[in-house]
Structure 1
Amino acid sequence: MTKKSVTKLTGVIPPVCTPMTSDGQVDADSLIRLVDHLIEGGVDGLFVLGSSSEVAYLTDAQRRVVLDTVAGHVGGRVPVLAGVIDMTTPRVLEHVRVAVEAGVSGLVATAPFYTRTHPTEIRTHFRTISAESGLPVYAYDLPVAVHTKLTAELLLGLAAEGVLAGVKDSSGDDGGLRQVILGREAPFSVLTGSEVTVDSALWMGADGVVPGLGNVDPHGYVRLYQAARQGDWEAARLEQERLVRLFEIVTVGGGRMGGSSSGLGAFKAALHLRGVIDHPATALPQVPLNDEETARIGKHLATAGLL
């Protein structure tokens, strides 16, 4: 299969939340409004079916609704990356076929998980996805969920083969991120998945950011990125500090629920309060935020100038 040419990804590429109805279905109308909210905020691309999209909770049919809705509505205005995240290569390839049919610009995949893997198997996994899809493939380094760290050696080796077009680094390993930045060659894209250290990642030479909080405040991350690109590091730092304070919404659920419930529930509650989506519902078995917690999120939004 002929590989499509790779244009280096840069800028702000938020992982798009998946709005849901109160009975647990994908809310396509709210999803379209969210996409418009992000594009109007100046983002450079969209990443659907990632962690902030609740990909782990969605059925295959729901994944298809998300892909068709977003790719169809965007119509090529910005690149759309699709997460093809699953446990093993055969399962991932099923998602690849659907994503290619939807007309996405690129694919995002983690290492295999649940099974215990070796770097040799991880390389085979990414090589197979690349060969089968004909699209640019971006590695998603997420050891907190996948339990495998993608090393700089592995990533850069696959990049040199033409297998990987870039990486979304959500590892929290700044030393490892710097190794990748130092060793990469164009057009390999290095994107940080951190909401709270974007300025430092860009200063090190990262190409962009994939922030879950960017759903709530795309304008803020675009301002941060543009300030960094212009070399105005003081403005970038001040914008980052405002976003760090806003990111405290993910802790509002406290100890009565898991981090996914608290974080994704906070993003959706904020989007609901901002009038972007109709319902703040999250997928089962996540625990919903209560009225008091939602009110606290509203106070954070007001402090950040978003209400």
Structure 2
Amino acid sequence: MTPTARRNRLALRTTGAGAAALLALSACSSSDSDSSSSKSSSSSSSSSSDRLSGTVTVFAAASLKESFTTLGKQFEQAHPGTKVTFSFGGSDSLAASITGGAPADVFASASPRTMKIVTDTGDASGTPVTFVRNQLEIATLPGNPDQVGSLKDLTNKDLKVVLCDKEVPCGAAAQKALDASGLKLTPVSYEQDVKAALTKVELKEADAAVVYRTDVRAAGDKVEGVEFPESADAINDYPITVLKAARHTDTAKAFLALVRSAEGQKVLTGAGFLKP
């Protein structure tokens, strides 16, 4: 065989080997692409099946209004197709409504005692968990014109003082603080929830009210807050639970998870709540 013929045959072998390699690479690439496509399709299907939907109705203590409203909006943005509605009020009234059959998915109470009303009737799904705590503060008129500096100052008969009803967690906590300090206080009125008590001061219908410090903060410059040491003896734990009658259980559980998450805790502690 001539040198020229040998070179031609070698070239043909090289070309054939290269073509075979390209075919193998193409087949491998096609296989990987199909596999990737299959995984992507599977992931998309899984994501679709896990998507939350439906309306979640949350019964929550009045002091949670600002924080929960913010969290509700965040939840809806994170889960398109969901809606969070709220009913805020005194925890005892909310508990009574739930045990009376009112439609609700989540209950967030301002005290273990009012949560127990719901658990005792078997309306809670699972064991309630404490997600925040709250401390009392005195709310006075802007500038504190009466120079209120202590819980004892509220016993001044010339002052119009408002308290929450004793059956409401903020009222029970106020009474506990008064008992701990040996003080007796006769308010001009007892209000059904903490927001109602605070409103009395905001409207200048009262000189002071014993409320939560979170409510003082939420009111901004409408009131002025005065801390008092006895409040440390009356800190309220706030429990939360999904209710047995929840219509969209997965969505309700997801909202509860947001409340307990780092993101949820950031909103709550930013409003003045204490970590559990």
Smaller-chain TM-score bracket: under 0.3
Larger strand share, 1 or 2: 2
**Greater RCO, CA 8 A, separation 6+:** 2
- Give the structure with higher Rg (CA): 2
TM-score normalised by L of structure 1:
0.23
TM-score normalised by L of structure 2:
0.25
